[in-house]
Amino acid sequence: MRSLTRWLGYGLVGLVLMTAVDLWRSRDLPASAGILGEQITLKGQAVDLAAQSHSEPVLLYVWASWCGICRLVSPMVNLVPGPVMSIAIASGSDARVTAYMRGKGYDFAVINDADNRLARSLSIGVTPTLMVVHQGELKLATTGFTTLPGMLLRRWLISWL
């Protein structure tokens, strides 16, 4: 019982530290997801992240086909239940990104940002970047490798902040 209590304590400390780091990383984000406006996915769907995030938190994944860490994170993003939107930056034409997605077996929604316009408006400097869009606002940004439990935890945690 004592070791269980100790592990729960470590888990709580880890959660607090993760949240603090994510909040610190989020300080440079634009406050509103509305700056993205309405976008069109590779499958031709019109998406308004700010509006969509009012019903439930949306995981936003900014990645690139040439990013080594993204090759580890993308399979986990593909497993995330619920709303996920991604932005592929500097990864080529729509046809090239579509072929990449098909070749990897990924089915999460993708907005192609071939010219980095969206990445610049979001102040993205590192791939991969994950954040949660909640109530029209960009929250809890993290960069680099993130696990599936970390993604799920961030989306759950945003409901409490």
- Give the CATH number of the domain where residue 128 resides: 3.40.30.10
Number of domains present in the structure of the chain:
1
Instruction: Tell me the residue range of the domain where 17 lies.
Output: 2-157
Query: What tokens appear for 70 in the block?
Result: 């993204």
Each residue's pLDDT tens digit, 99-133: 999 999 999 999 999 999 999 988 888 899 999 99
CA–CA dist 49, 39 (Å, integer)? 9
Query: What tokens appear for 139 in the block?
Result: 């929250």
Each residue's pLDDT tens digit, 30-82: 557 888 889 999 999 999 999 999 999 999 999 999 999 999 999 999 999 99
Q: What is the pTM of this model?
A: 0.83
